[in-house]
A and B are shown apart, each in its own frame.
Chain A
């Protein structure tokens, strides 16, 4: 079965990732996770949903509702926050390289 890959699909898959927030020493079962967008790879910058960080807020979630608040620094969350990001194979890694536009065909590297 071929893959329909327009440029939007390629960019989307390349930029997509999952983000996991947990407490130091906690197992995966106790973590929160969501999706994200890789804005830059090196250095790595990711934009994701903020909801997974609220259980870690030092001052509780009440600070969120102040109408004009547009941002809070990262240290608004407690020190035991651990964040991990995971993404799929990138186009450059052999596993990730699939020739777009000619599904079903590949060009093995010589």
Chain B
């Protein structure tokens, strides 16, 4: 606060255009977005969720009434007519904006968010700051991305990489917290339904505004001859929702009748488990826990055998190598559980912790939330790298860090899973209960003991 530009504003070193007066034509909101928003974030969940908003310049409001206003306002957008600037040249280089029809961008697809943190507070520094992420989840016109957005970017555009530069959505709520945990997801409103509402509304306004409807950007696909429905990464469908009694979490299909999840999701051997694959929708298959590691084992793993095959679910290919820094994705039912399908979050493999040259722990920068445990960690080519076990909690402050999380390398599990899958032999899995002390030390996030010096006597 208190920054005052003392020279003409510059954008990344280039002078900004002067401010242009504009007229508010319409306030518009997508009823379907509001309905989905209410379903995901409202009612009994409401008290858990907090959303950041672009407060007035330097004031931060605390009172509840304004917070309620903010929630109401969150799903509203505005259409403005900008007064022409006689000096502004016709821009021959400009690429025509096009809009991605709703549903054409699949989960896991790369997205680019472009907004100005803190709005007009410091545009010469922050105007059009971009951030990359993926489409993490979608329920109707309500979309979520893990691209990092800050207050002030509300209304900023979110663009697809494929088809290049198609407008997918606008930022509705840049930051959200659930039960005090920063979720690391940005709430978006799909652009196509908003612009359809604008098109219809303009037709009902004064004739001078009605003609503007023809200026609204077209939906891409028909004109560009692109496939309208990009199926997206097929490997994401290997993630399943796992329910065991009142506990639920994520899991991954590793064979037509075998699902791996975490012990803290399905803790007891022989207990019945309900597995819900992502496709077909509403399918559910019963199974039971055939193996769960002991509490003392650092590998928080449970193996579920299903009563019938999982039809049409792709079997992920387990990797044999890990490359720190490689692009990775986590697929899990964290944050929303059954309210909407699994979320995809992206990041990189930030660390491969080894004991005696054997990978025993993977760390990523993907956003991992409560409920994602047991879910799969994939490489960008869809190979299964590991099973998500936890994110990070600071025991002193209680703060949760979604972007620092731990997975069990699939190389630790694969031989044992194969042994069981092919011969029903549990001995390999039971070895997970007898890991060495150094492995335990790693998973207790302790520093490895220094070598105890040998006595020279």
Q: Which residues of A contact B (CB under 8 A)?
A: 6-20, 28-54, 61, 64-65, 67-74, 76-77, 81-93, 95-97
Beta-carbon contact of A18 and B91 below 8 Å: no
A64–B72 touching, CB < 8 Å: yes
Tell me the smallest distance from the CB of A95 to a CB of chain B, in Å.
Answer: 4
User: Smallest distance from the beta carbon of B112 to chain A beta carbons, Å?
Assistant: 5
CB distance from B229 to the nearest CB of A (A): 20
A86 touches B19 (CB 8 A): yes
Chain B: CB-nearest residue to A57: B27
| Chain B, interface SS category | mixed
For A83, list chain B residues within 8 Å (CB). Answer: 21-24, 80
CB distance from A55 to the nearest CB of B (A): 8
6 tightest A-B CB contacts, nearest first? A44-B82, A33-B119, A11-B165, A49-B155, A50-B76, A35-B156
Residues in B whose Cβ lies below 8 Å from that of A70 = 28-31, 197, 200-201
Closest Cβ of chain A to B195, distance in Å, is 7
Q: A12-B157, A14-B94, A49-B170 are in contact. Are A36 and B54 (CB under 8 A)?
A: no
B323: A residues at CB distance < 8 A? none
Q: List 8 A-B contacts (CB under 8 A).
A: A11-B164, A19-B22, A33-B152, A36-B155, A49-B78, A53-B78, A76-B27, A90-B88
Q: Chain B residues near A18 (CB, 8 Å)?
A: 116, 119-120, 123, 127
Residues from chain B with Cβ under 8 Å of A33 in the complex: 54, 118-121, 152
Stretch in B8-16, B232-240, B248-256 with 4+ CB within 8 Å of A: B8-16
Contacts of B120 in A (CB 8 A): 18-20, 28, 31, 33, 84, 86
Q: Does B161 sit within 8 A of A, measured CB to CB? A: yes
| CB-contact partner of A8 in B82, B88, B165, under 8 A | B165
Contact string, B247-272, partner A, CB cutoff 8 A, digits 1/0?
00000000000000000000000000
Complex Cα distance A17/B56, Å? 18
Bound-state Cα–Cα, A34 to B54, Å: 7
Which residue of chain B has its CB nearest to the CB of A70? B197
The answer to whether A54 touches B69 (Cβ under 8 A) is yes
Q: Name the CB-closest residue of A to B29.
A: A70
Residues facing A in B72-91 (CB within 8 A) are: 72-74, 76-84, 88-91
Residues of chain B contacted by A9 (CB below 8 angstroms): 112, 130
Known: A33-B119, A72-B26. 14 other contacts (CB 8 A): A8-B112, A32-B56, A35-B116, A39-B97, A46-B22, A50-B28, A51-B53, A61-B69, A73-B205, A77-B27, A82-B21, A86-B19, A88-B16, A90-B94
Whether the pair B22, A13 counts as a contact (CB closer than 8 A) is no
Q: In chain B, what residue has the closest Cβ to A93?
A: B89
A30 to chain B, nearest CB (A): 7
B80 near A42 with CB under 8 A, answer: no
B23 and A7: CB pair below 8 A?
Answer: no
Check if B160 is an interface residue, CB within 8 A of chain A.
yes
Whether, in the assembled complex, B217 has its beta carbon less than 8 Å from a beta carbon of chain A, the answer is: yes
> Looking across the interface, which residue of chain A has its beta carbon closest to that of B194?
A47
Choose one: B34, B97, B130, B155; the contact of A34 (CB below 8 Å): B155
Minimal Cβ-Cβ distance residue in B for A33: B119
Bound complex: CA A81 to CA B191 (Å):
26
CB atoms of B54 and A92 under 8 A apart:
no
What residues of chain A lie closer than 8 Å to B114, measured between beta carbons? 12-13, 15-16, 35
B219 on the A face (CB < 8 A): no
Asked if B79 and A47 make an inter-chain contact with CB atoms under 8 angstroms apart, the answer reads yes
Q: Would you call A42 and B29 a contact (CB within 8 A)? A: no
B16 touches A42 (CB 8 A): no
Is B18 close to A, CB under 8 A? Answer: yes
Q: What is the bound-complex CA distance between A53 and B201, given in angstroms?
A: 18
With A13-B128, A86-B16 as known contacts, state yes or no: A71 contacts B27, CB within 8 Å: yes
Q: B90 → chain A, closest Cβ, in Å?
A: 7
Given contacts A20-B19, A34-B119, A42-B90, contact A14 B156 (CB under 8 A): no
B82 touches A37 (CB 8 A): no
Contacts of A53 in B (CB 8 A): 24, 27, 76, 78
* Cβ-based interface call for B70 (8 A): yes
The answer for the CA separation of A96 and B16 in the assembled complex, in Å, is 9
Nearest Cβ on chain B to A34's Cβ, whole angstroms: 4
Instruction: Name the distance in Å between B215's Cβ and chain A's nearest Cβ.
Output: 4
Instruction: Kindly identify, within residues 145 to 171 of chain B, every residue whose CB is under 8 Å from any CB belonging to chain A.
Output: 152-157, 159-161, 164-165, 167, 170-171
Give the CA-CA distance A15 to B20 in the complex, in Å. Answer: 15
- Rounded to whole Å, the gap between the CB of A69 and the closest CB of chain B is 7
Q: Is B25 interfacial (CB 8 A cutoff)? A: yes
A16 and B156 contacting across the interface, CB-CB below 8 Å: yes
Tell me, rounded to whole Å, the shortest Cβ–Cβ distance linking A83 to chain B.
4
Inter-chain CA distance A19–B121, complex, in Å, is 11
> Which residues of A are found within 8 Å of B81, using beta-carbon distances?
43-45
Contact B84 A43 (CB under 8 A): yes
